[in-house]
Each structure stands twice: as C-alpha cells, then as structure tokens.
Amino acid sequence: MASAFRADRDGRMTVVKQRLATTRLSDGTEIAYAVAGSGPLLVHAPGWLTHLERSWAMPPERGFYEALARGRTLVRYDRPGCGLSGTTSRALSMDLEVETLAAVVAHVTSTTGRDGVELFGASLGAAAAASFAAADPGSVSRLVLYGGWVRGRDVATAENREHVLGLIGEQWGLGSDVLAGIFAPSADAATRAAFIDYQRESTTPQHARNLLTLAYDLDITDRLGSITAPTLVIHRERDRAAPLEQGRALAAGIPGASLEVLDGRDHLPYMGDAAALATSVRRFLGLPAVRAGAAAALTDRQRQVARLVTQGLTNREIAAELTITERSVESHVERIRDRLGFRSRSQVAAWYTAGGR
C-alpha cells in the first residue's frame, strides 16, 4: 500500500491523505473505512458519531489522526448507521460493535497481507476494542484504550442519562449542542459549531439515541480478564463524559494493564491537549513523539475561494465576485482539494467553517 504520509525537509508532519474503501458485515451491511499513513496496522475503534469525510475536514480531529498515522497505517471506520457506512435493521449491541471491528480488521489484514493489528479504542470504542481483544487475543499485538468505561450505568446517574437521551430523541438540535459541551468543553466557538453540525450530519437522531443507550447499558466486566495483549489505558483526569474512576476500573480489570492519567476535561481524544494524548499512544507503540507541523497553508487567493465555496457560491459566481475566469476558479478549487487531501467542496466548506485557513 502506498504511503499517504509526507514530511517536509526538517521531518515535520505535513499533509496526510486518506484512501476510502469498504467491506461488509455478515448481513451484507456495507462498512466504509479510511486508510492513511504506512507501516504496521493501527485500527481505531470509534467512540461517538463519525463521518470519515467530515472528520478529515475538522482540523483538530484530522491533526490528531495524522499524528497517529506517522509510522503506522491508520485505519478508521464508520459503524453501521453512521457517516459513509450503510444502515442496518439490527439492534445496536456490543456484539454488533465487535463484529464491525472484526470485519474491518479481517479486510485490511487480507488486503495488506499483514498479520495482526494494534488497536486504539476511544470512548465506546474502548469497550469494542477490549471485547475484540478478549475474543481474539492472537490477532492483537498492542491495545490502547482511551476514555473508556466498564459499566455504562456507572458513567452517569439515571436522571442524567434519561435527560440526555430525551434531548437527543426529541430535540436533536439542542441535544447535539449539549453533547458538544460535555464531550468538548474546551473547544472554541468555531470548532464547537462545526462539531454540532458534524454530529447532525453523521446520523439520525434516533440512531444517535440508540448508540448512547448502548453506551449506558454496556457491561464488559466479564471480558476484561481474557485480554492478553499489552494494554495501556489512558484517561483525562476531569473527563466530563466518563469519570476517571471508570478508567481506573478498566485498567484494574485487564491483566498487566497500565494506566496513564492526563490533564484535561475533554472526552473527545482530539480536543484539548491532543498532542499529549498522541504522544502517549505513540510512546506505547514504540514510536517517537511527532513534532507539530504547520497545517497545509493556502494562498491568499485560495483562502478567498475557500471562503466563497463555504458560502455556497458556484464557480461562475465566485469568478464574478473575484473578477477572474471560471477556469481559474476551477483550478483554485482543485488545488485546494489536492493540498488538503479532500474529495469534495463540502469538505472544503466544513474545514473552513471549523477554522481551517
């Protein structure tokens, strides 16, 4: 598989491009996944709602994934009913989460010819990754669990659970706003607004409610003792969505697991001090820390074009606005997409809205 990682002359990370592919579950449900970087396989089990293209257009999220992709082939996927993946009539369950992860692992290992994977599970994905590692210990060489929990009923009080679930099911707009405050309290206004839109575009309100219900109902206590892979549990000290006690319980239940507590209160791995989290993950995987590289910079003209694309203008309208030819606009849009590794104008718009420049 060709490398998607590029570095500048002093070794700093620059643009990483992702390649999209699909696999299927036993019932035929299509699962979309993205591959970036090169090296041994690192599969990321997602936590909350995902959209492979929208996430790649969110500067903080993409920056975190780019850090993980240096020295690894990073594989991310959309679970059934989210993002680019197909929908399913099956009830959401931890077994379905594990089946989805297993299908992606099987497909990427057969496609790349590599044996075994490293797993990084975040939030709800930590339970899926731990369950997969327990069920198929020989296929996981290292396991990293971030922001996870053992029993969903211990994450929040029954009153708080019902309140949040009610908001999502009945007022998805308000519910997505409330969740943004819980999952990413340190996000600036632009990033928070972009994340709220991101949630709404990733799935339906009912599916989001069902997914959060699964998170509250899960109990993986009996699976932890079967994990044999070297395991690192990482938790932020003041995580607003998953109490630190759950991180401690997760580490205590896995034979030989280590616990690393980081400062911060954001639940989403790419919010807050994402660099510290990426460094912890890379250190455990035997990789050096990554120096922050400058984001792919656009020219002044390209920024003007990106702003007008975000406003929904056509190439002809942008040409009139900037007093240039329509062909020049087409060329600028193509260069913007190439420089940022995007496939569509909507990704450019999402990136610009989230503060990308």
Summarised one tens digit per residue, pLDDT across range 55-88 is: 998 888 998 999 999 999 999 999 999 999 999 9
SS3 9: coil
- Report the pLDDT averaged over residues 168-186: 91
- The residue count for the chain: 357
Helix, strand, coil in percent for the chain, rounding step 5: 50, 15, 35
- Report the pLDDT averaged over residues 204-208: 94
Percentage of the chain lying above the pLDDT 70 cut: 94
10-21: pLDDT as tens digits:
334 456 789 999
What local confidence, expressed as pLDDT, does residue 12 receive?
A: 42
Q: Which residues pair with 145 in a beta bridge?
A: 121, 233
Q: Please state the pTM of the whole predicted model.
A: 0.83
The whole-angstrom separation of Cα 25 and Cα 334 is: 35
What local confidence, expressed as pLDDT, does residue 123 receive?
A: 97
**Whose CA is closest to 22, among 86, 68, 116, 88?**
86
- Report the pLDDT averaged over residues 254-264: 97
Q: Output the CA angle 61-67-72, nearest 5 degrees.
A: 120
**Does residue 42 have a pLDDT over 80?**
yes
CB burial string 108-129: b at 16+ within 10 A, e below: bbeebeeeebbbbbbbbbbbbb
What local confidence, expressed as pLDDT, does residue 2 receive?
A: 33
Residue with tokens 């090296």: 39
- Report the pLDDT averaged over residues 201-219: 95
CB 275 within 8 A of CB 63: no
Q: Which of 122-136, 162-176, 191-205, 303-317 has the highest mean pLDDT?
A: 122-136
Mean pLDDT of the chain: 89
Lowest mean pLDDT across 6-10, 154-158, 179-183 = 6-10
**Does residue 7 have a pLDDT over 50?**
no
- DSSP one-letter string for 300-313: HHHHHHHHHHHTT-
**Does residue 354 have a pLDDT over 80?**
no
The whole-angstrom separation of Cα 249 and Cα 126 is: 13
Beta strands in the chain (DSSP E): 19-24, 30-37, 41-45, 73-77, 117-122, 140-146, 231-236, 258-262
Structure confidence at residue 294 as a pLDDT band (50, 70, 90)? very low
The whole-angstrom separation of Cα 61 and Cα 200 is: 17
Lowest mean pLDDT across 69-78, 130-139, 327-336 = 327-336
What local confidence, expressed as pLDDT, does residue 226 receive?
A: 97
**Does residue 295 have a pLDDT over 70?**
no
**Does residue 3 have a pLDDT over 50?**
no
Measured on CA atoms in the order 203, 35, 275, 295, is the torsion positive or negative?
negative
Contacts of 330-337 with CB under 8 Å at 24 or more apart are 332/301, 332/302, 332/305, 333/305, 333/309, 335/302, 336/298, 336/302, 336/305, 336/306, 336/309
SS3 254: coil
- Report the pLDDT averaged over residues 245-251: 97
- Report the pLDDT averaged over residues 92-107: 97
Q: Which of 90-99, 290-299, 303-312 has the highest mean pLDDT?
A: 90-99
**Does residue 339 have a pLDDT over 70?**
yes
The whole-angstrom separation of Cα 318 and Cα 309 is: 8
The whole-angstrom separation of Cα 243 and Cα 149 is: 8
SS3 88: coil
* Helix (H), strand (E) counts: the chain: 14, 8
Structural domains present in the chain: 19-284 (3.40.50.1820), 300-353 (1.10.10.10)
